[in-house]
């Protein structure tokens, strides 16, 4: 086996020695690249896969976790600004169990109701109230952080003590500071959700007393009228309606005057009051049907009443009223109750909130526009497009003034320069890549052509040497035949005399016949070394 390895190495060495300098460089660089790629693949395959062990750790807990992992001899990676620690995937659960047995992470910075666990009977009232406030702040902060887009939240509560004999209590207030994820902005609905979440969690806290701000210092909700849920929704609906009307008018004007030559602003006054109206109408019909009729009749017959006794029936206030009675004491009374049908119509109309009270539009046309401006025609077009009603009190105003396009021109020039720079950079990159690719291709072609020329020259030289050897062998055979004829003619018993050069030629001819490939390779090596 050793001889086989030695022969293989010798064969590779002889083959490498036959390469041109360009081929040697390519072979060395290619071999090095293959070895480097194999090393990187092996390193990637052998590297362990890391998974998060704990996330969002406080600095104290992260330090304790790293110290314990170092003591256990476990490899780890730190990311997320020091708050996330990752370990090999196959050790995640075992390390969590091990660290939990050591009380790591302690969770001391979590806050919340865990602050109330350490209280005992000796706790003062002030500390109890302070811990309760801190616990509520921590719980509210964790709840707000559960909202999509919120990274960190800090809540501060101002809970004044209740006074027993005071008629008016100081109101409770709250402030919330939120830090959103990168590229995320809280919507108005999410801000209102935070406001009502905090207000509903604290007894007696009015939503108007909750202030929400972001990490940049911008106030998202300060408890004013515009920050309440209903008012914010109404303002958003009004703004969306105005933008919709302005977009319709702007699209029409852009088709007429071209983009950038006109501007439209629409102000809509909407009525968000909800009204319900009930109307009852009675018709006039001479043929009124009788729905029901009741007839009652009373008749009494009796003897003559005494002359000293007053006659009649007892009326209100114990007064007697004289009825239809005769002298002999008889009584007769009849009544009729009739219910007639009435032609009645009852209508209930409910007006939905959001009806338009009035619209006001302002149109500005650039005097440098290539299209002539007719204010009356523009008023008619925009009024028809957005529904202007002068009887309702709507107004529209069209003016023609020169537009300031310096900023737009500067932006267009910068955009054009940036596009030109990008195009030049791409063009230069393509040229550089093309030149490098062409140079590499040219070197490969030159090396290939030179190797082909060398191989052809070696093949020609080998063929020439073989032909010469064969011709010399044929000449020696003919000379031997002639010598044999001369010997036969002279009948001499002398043995033929051979020289050392003839013996060498015979050995070379025999070697060429037995091992033609090895001889050709040897000759190519001699030719290369000669050059």
Helix (H), strand (E), coil (C) string for 390-406: HHHCCEEEEEEECCCCH
| Residue, of 302 and 344, whose pLDDT is higher | 344
d(Cα 165, Cα 338) in Å, to the nearest integer?
Answer: 67
Helices (H), 182-330: 188-201, 229-257
**The predicted structure's pLDDT at residue 410:** 86
Contact criterion met (CB below 8 Å) for 135 and 116: yes
Q: Residue 208: in which H helix or E strand, if any?
A: none
Strand 320-321 to strand 313-314: parallel, antiparallel, or no bridges (unpaired)? antiparallel
Question: What are the strands, taking DSSP E only, across 44-89?
Answer: 50-54, 77-79, 84-88
pLDDT in tens, 314-330: 444 444 444 455 556 67
**Between β-strands 344-351 and 275-282, what pairing exists: parallel, antiparallel or unpaired?**
antiparallel
pLDDT, residue 226, reads 47
pLDDT band at 302 (very low <50, low <70, confident <90, very high): low
What whole-number distance in Å separates Cα of residue 146 and Cα of residue 53? 21
Residue 251: the pLDDT is 92
Please, which residues have CB within 8 angstroms of residue 527's CB and are 6 or more apart in sequence?
Answer: 457, 458, 461
Q: How far is CA 457 from CA 19, 205, 464, in A?
A: 14, 100, 10
Both structure tokens of 255: 């088709």
pLDDT on residue 394: 92
Residue 249: the pLDDT is 92
E-assigned strand segments in 55-125? 77-79, 84-88
Contact between 302 and 328 under an 8 Å Cβ cutoff? The reply is: yes
Return the CA Rg of the chain: 56
How many CB atoms neighbour CB 199 within 10 A? Answer: 18
What is the phi-psi region of residue 209: left when phi exceeds 0, alpha when psi lies from -120 to 50, beta otherwise?
alpha
pTM exceeds 0.85 for this model: no
**What sign does the dihedral 245-251-255-258 (CA atoms) show?**
positive
Give residue 362's pLDDT.
93
Between CA 195 and CA 175 the distance in angstroms is: 9
Confidence of residue 63 (pLDDT cuts 50, 70, 90): confident
CB 121 within 8 A of CB 114: no
Query: What is the rounded CA–CA span in Å between residue 171 and residue 184?
Result: 33
Least confident of 316-325, 373-382, 439-448: 316-325
> Could you tell me the two tokens for 135?
């616990």
- Per-residue pLDDT for 454 more than 50? yes
Q: Residue 497 has what pLDDT?
A: 46
Residues 386 and 359: their CA atoms lie apart, in Å, by 9
The mean predicted confidence, pLDDT, of the chain is 78
- Angstrom distances, CA of residue 365 to CA of 140, 247, 382: 53, 16, 13
Contact between residue 147 and residue 176 where contact means Cβ atoms under 8 Å apart:
no
**From CA 316, how far away is CA 336, in angstroms rounded?**
23
Residue with tokens 């602003």, as numbered in its chain: 265
* pLDDT at residue 114, as a whole number: 60
Write phi, then psi, for 158 (nearest 5 degrees). Answer: -115, 100
The residues, any chain, with a CB within 8 Å of residue 52's CB and separated by 6 or more, are 84, 85, 86, 92
Say if residue 408's pLDDT is above 90. no
DSSP code of residue 325: B
């Amino acid at each position: 086996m050793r001889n086989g390895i030695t022969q293989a190495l010798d064969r590779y060495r002889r083959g490498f020695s036959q390469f041109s300098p360009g081929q040697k460089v390519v072979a060395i660089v290619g071999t090095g690249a293959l070895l480097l790629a194999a090393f990187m693949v092996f390193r990637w395959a052998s590297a362990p896969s890391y998974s998060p062990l704990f996330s969002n750790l406080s600095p104290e807990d992260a330090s304790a976790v790293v110290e314990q992992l170092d003591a256990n001899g476990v490899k780890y990676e730190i990311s997320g600004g020091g708050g996330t620690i990752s370990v090999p995937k196959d050790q995640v659960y075992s390390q969590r169990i091990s660290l939990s047995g050591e009380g790591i992470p302690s969770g001391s910075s979590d806050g919340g109701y865990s602050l109330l666990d350490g209280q005992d009977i000796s706790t003062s009232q002030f500390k109890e109230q302070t811990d309760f406030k801190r616990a509520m702040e921590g719980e509210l902060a964790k709840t707000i952080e559960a909202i999509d887009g919120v990274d960190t939240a800090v809540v501060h509560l101002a809970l004044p003590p209740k006074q027993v004999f005071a008629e008016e209590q100081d109101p409770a207030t709250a402030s919330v500071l939120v830090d959103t994820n990168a590229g995320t902005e809280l919507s108005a609905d999410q801000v209102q959700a935070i406001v009502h979440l905090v207000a509903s969690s604290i007894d007696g806290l009015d939503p108007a007393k909750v202030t929400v701000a972001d990490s940049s210092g911008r106030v998202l909700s300060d408890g004013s009228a515009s920050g309440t849920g209903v008012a914010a929704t109404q303002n958003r609906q009004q703004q969306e309606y105005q933008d919709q009307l302005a977009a319709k008018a702007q699209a029409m004007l852009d088709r007429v005057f071209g983009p950038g030559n006109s501007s439209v602003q629409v102000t809509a006054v909407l009525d968000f009051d909800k009204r319900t109206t009930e109307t009852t109408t009675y018709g006039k019909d001479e043929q009124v049907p009788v729905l029901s009729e009741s007839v009652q009749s009373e008749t009494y017959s009796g003897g003559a009443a005494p002359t000293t006794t007053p006659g009649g029936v007892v009326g209100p206030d114990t007064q007697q009223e004289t009825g239809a009675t005769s002298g002999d004491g008889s009584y007769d009374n009849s009544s009729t109750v009739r219910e007639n049908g009435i032609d009645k119509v009852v209508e209930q109309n409910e007006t939905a909130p959001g009806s338009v009270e009035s619209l006001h539009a302002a149109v500005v046309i650039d005097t440098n526009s290539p299209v002539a401006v007719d204010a009356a025609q523009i008023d008619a077009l925009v009024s028809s497009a957005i529904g202007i009603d002068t009887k309702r009190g709507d107004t529209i105003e069209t003016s023609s003034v020169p537009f300031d396009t310096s900023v737009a021109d500067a932006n267009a020039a910068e955009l054009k320069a940036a596009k030109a720079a990008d195009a030049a950079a791409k063009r230069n990159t393509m040229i550089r890549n093309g030149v490098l690719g062409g140079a590499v291709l040219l070197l490969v072609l030159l090396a290939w052509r030179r190797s082909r020329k060398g191989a052809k020259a070696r093949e020609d030289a080998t063929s020439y040497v073989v032909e010469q050897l064969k011709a010399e062998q044929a000449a020696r055979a003919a000379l031997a035949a002639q010598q044999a004829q001369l010997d036969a003619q002279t009948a001499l018993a002398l043995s033929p005399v051979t020289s050392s050069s003839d013996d060498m030629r015979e050995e070379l001819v025999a070697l060429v016949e037995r091992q033609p490939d090895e001889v050709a390779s040897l000759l190519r090596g001699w030719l290369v070394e000669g050059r």
